[in-house]
Structure 1
């Protein structure tokens, strides 16, 4: 497969997942700001922007809910935003038009064309729901119409890397304002995990179990461990020779290191230092993404989050 095509498929997967994850995070936290009058809006919004890799201007005295929406939802020049992600997915589909199916192209093109430039505050949650539905539609089109060849593997690899990063960000936001932050039930619902969690733990609730489910459950597709394992499977399928002949695979090494750390470290230690561990997970996804770029897309510049270093 051409490097250009493989890179486009990888980033289509990442951008679709990024738009979905960003919509989920914003939906939870902006709703929390409306429901809890005791939250300091400026501190909460600055913390949320920081977790999402986007920072307000140094001279800006107060950051509001509207500023967060402007930067993370509709700003087409901010790589952390939903609008930028939908635009990126569409442009990469255009670059790989000879591989991308007509159904996927029409889905991404229509989604980008309907992306609003401004949001009505009263309908913002309808917008987040729309983004999640369009992301799910794009993924469904790919899963139902793409052969499980290298094209699908690169798309799923990008999606798995991004999902690992986004779930880590969702978990990191739990500790932004511990006293008044979103409950674990809200976090689970934002990941679409609440019903699956109740079935797994037979209705038992608690912070430890909720965090453990989103971190370590091997069967739930949005858990960090499941996403890492899926990325490892895709890498092994794309580049099986590296493992057979003993060559070093930097992507698998990075992913395996964080997976082993999460699986074998006492969970109480992870929960006590959750933000630090989630930052480590994000660093590993950046390291893995850079290794993938160097291995498969050596002539292309990597699109990145604001604040990433190459």
Structure 2
């Protein structure tokens, strides 16, 4: 496969998931402000922009500012609009490899999203983004052959999902100050799955552990990291080295995954903010390693610069 096509497929997966994950993060803020009238809107909005999403913002910040930056700003590839635009551009470049249904799904999503117009971010905006991202991912899984093209797309999706879930988990507060864990679960689409697995017993520690460590929930950090490793294994030649792992991306992801898997749950929860930062660092390092190994040389797309 041409490296430019592989790169486009990888970023289709990432940007589709980024639109979904960013919408979920904004929804956490929306629900937190609705459920807790005493919440400091400025402080919470600043946390979402600066701490969670890494977008410095001077002066007072409001929910509308978060919406303008993370939902409607086309120049920001971390925003919903920027992510959909970048996903469509990458799909256009890889159109000969995508199924017709997948191209139409991405293209239609972009044009319909523009029809919403700019304004205050509502639940309608955010739920529509989640539905379309799920639709695009489902079309990819059901209409593409599960060959290396699909592997690159799912690899991008899984790496981005691990990063975005880590950011969502970071919005939950221990012992207080962050979003209620019921809100974080709901925004992750994990409420029912969590209640079933925990027999209705909700606690902060259980919710955090579920979103980070659960082996069967597809949006957990652990599940996403493991799926990314599986796609890398499928793309790599058989392991011939007797010592170590030559694939730097697999090494980065495997190391952070095992650091979560083989520590006690209590240790992971006690060190949760630092653990989530390590996950994000590993995802960044793995993305760089993937670009170096499989893609054309050039600047790696980041959270603050558009794709070259």
Q: Give 1:73's aligned residue.
A: 71
Question: 1:118 Cα deviation (Å)?
Answer: 4.2
1:203 partner SS? coil
- Contact in 1 for aligned 2:214/2:223 (Cα 8 Å): yes
Question: 1:196 Cα deviation (Å)?
Answer: 1.2
Question: 1:178 Cα deviation (Å)?
Answer: 5.2
Q: Is 1:244 the equivalent of 2:240?
A: yes
- Contact in 1 for aligned 2:3/2:295 (Cα 8 Å): yes
Q: Is 1:259 the equivalent of 2:257?
A: yes
Which residue of the other structure, out of 148, 151, 159, is the alignment partner of 2:149? 151
How does the TM-score come out when normalised to structure 2?
Answer: 0.93
Gaps of 5+ in 2: none
Q: Give 1:87's aligned residue.
A: 85
**Aligned-partner Cα distance in 2 for 1:71–1:159:** 22
Q: Give 1:20's aligned residue.
A: 20
The CA RMSD over aligned residues, in Å, is: 1.8
Q: How many residues align?
A: 302
Q: Give 2:181's aligned residue.
A: 184
Provide, for residues 109-152 of structure 1, a one-character-per-residue CA deviation record: whole Å limited to 9, x for no partner: 1111122474443x611010110111111111101101110000
Q: Is 1:234 the equivalent of 2:231?
A: yes
**Change over 3 Å in CA distance of 1:35–1:119 after alignment to 2:** farther
> After alignment, is 262-271 or 136-145 more displaced?
262-271
Q: Give 1:201's aligned residue.
A: 198
How does the TM-score come out when normalised to structure 1?
Answer: 0.93
Matches within 5 A, 1:1-310: 1-50=1-50, 51-56=52-57, 58=58, 61-116=59-114, 118-121=117-120, 124-175=122-173, 179-241=176-238, 243-246=239-242, 248-306=246-304
Gaps of 5+ in 1: none
**Change over 3 Å in CA distance of 1:188–1:35 after alignment to 2:** closer
- Contact in 2 for aligned 1:54/1:80 (Cα 8 Å): no
**Change over 3 Å in CA distance of 1:74–1:286 after alignment to 2:** same
Question: 1:281 Cα deviation (Å)?
Answer: 0.5
**Aligned-partner Cα distance in 1 for 2:68–2:269:** 32
